[in-house]
Structure 1
Amino acid sequence: MKRTITVLVNNKSGVLNRMTGLFARRQYNIDSITVGVTENPTISRMTFVVFVDSMENVEQMIKQLHKQVDVLKIKDITDEAIVERELALVRVGATPQQRGEIASLAETFRAQAVDIGKESMTLQITGNNEKIEAFIELVKPYGIQELARTGVTAVNRSSKVSTDTSRLTLIN
């Protein structure tokens, strides 16, 4: 089963290496990793998408992660209301005659042309994994020359606000 785990860590050299080493020792396949500094420059957020056999394995992994010195907070957000995004840059073959066709396709997916060469176009697309996969399938006939993808980045959705404006209350 696929799980999305976020980890807040001290922003120090070597932390990522120790974290991925832990996953490797347990023989978990990491589907994607994203790491970036948070609003606090001393803290980084890591988002791991991993495939595990059972919930027991997830719980064991979280226990092992908690033992790491630089780990501040761990959360399995798979079953929560989250916003998740991924970025892909796709360079496809594009003759001048095909550019309009490709641009129209990109517009449908809210992708953007970020570079246009004599015989190719580079498109940028963000969204969930399914959207990116669908876009890639549609541009394959043009010939994908290069493809670069980030991993999944995810955060919990905001708390919902009651629609009764006479009593504005937060609902968790």
Structure 2
Amino acid sequence: MEHIITALVENKPGVLARIVGLISGRGYNIETLNVGPTQDPAVSKMTLVVPGDDHVLEQVTLQVGKLIDVIGVTDVTGKRHIDRELILVEIAIDSVARRAEILDLATLFKAAVAGVSQRSVTLQMVGST
């Protein structure tokens, strides 16, 4: 089973490395990891997806919660949440016709154009797993 864990942490250098090192050092895997600032620039929010049983969840939340730079840890697996995956793909183009072909395919697959240059097109796709 996958567990979704969020942690509010101090936005300081080395915090991410300490948390990842702690989890991997205990032999647990991190499936996905996302970190971003909150409204308070001194605080970041981490979202981790950790596979394993309830024992793994308990150990990860307890151990991460003990770190000095961690403000709080929450298991949101059973709570209402939105689960999305995002991919950015940069595709090299060598002609105007190729660019048009790529943009047509983007429309077909409901991809958003994130950027266009003379040499490439960057597409963004979002979906559920």
Band the TM-score falls in, shorter-chain normalisation: 0.7 to 0.9
Is the 8 Å Cα contact of residues 8 and 73 (structure 2) preserved in structure 1?
yes
Is the radius of gyration larger for structure 1 or structure 2? 1
2:26 match? 26
Q: For residues 98 and 12 of structure 2, what CA distance do their matches in structure 1 show?
A: 47
Q: Identity over the aligned pairs, expressed in percent? A: 39
Q: Aligned partner of 2:73: which letter? A: I
* Aligned-residue RMSD, C-alpha: 2.0
Deviations 1:13-55 (A, max 9, x none): 2211110111111111212221111011111101112222x11
Q: How does 1:95-134 map to 2 (within 5 A)?
A: 95-107=95-107, 108-118=109-119, 120-125=120-125, 127-130=126-129
Residues 67-106 of structure 1: pairs in structure 2 closer than 5 A = 67-94=66-93, 95-106=95-106
1:27 is aligned with what amino acid?
Answer: G
CA contact (8 A) 1:103 1:113 kept: no
Amino acid aligned to 2:116: D
Structure 1 CA distance for aligned equivalents of residues 114 and 68 of structure 2? 43
The 3 A distance-change label for structure 1 pair 73 and 91 is same
Deviation at 1:79, TM superposition (A): 2.3
- Aligned pair count reads 127
Q: Mark the runs of 5 or more structure 1 residues left unpaired by the alignment.
A: 131-172
2: CA distance between counterparts of 1:21 and 1:59?
17
TM-score (normalizing by structure 1): 0.64
The answer (yes or no) to whether the contact 2:31–2:49 under 8 Å persists in 1 is yes
Partner Cα separation in structure 2 for residue 47 and residue 113 of structure 1: 24
Residue 62 of structure 1 corresponds to which residue in structure 2? Answer: 61
The amino acid of 1:51's aligned partner reads P
Judge which range, 4-13 or 105-114, deviates more: 105-114
| Inter-CA distance 41–93: structure 2 relative to 1 (3 Å threshold) | closer
**TM-score after normalising by structure 2:** 0.82
Deviation beyond 4 Å, 4+ runs, structure 1 = none
Q: Deviations over 1:33-86 (max 9, x none)?
A: 21111011111101112222x111111211111111121111111222112344
Superposed displacement of residue 113, structure 1? 4.5
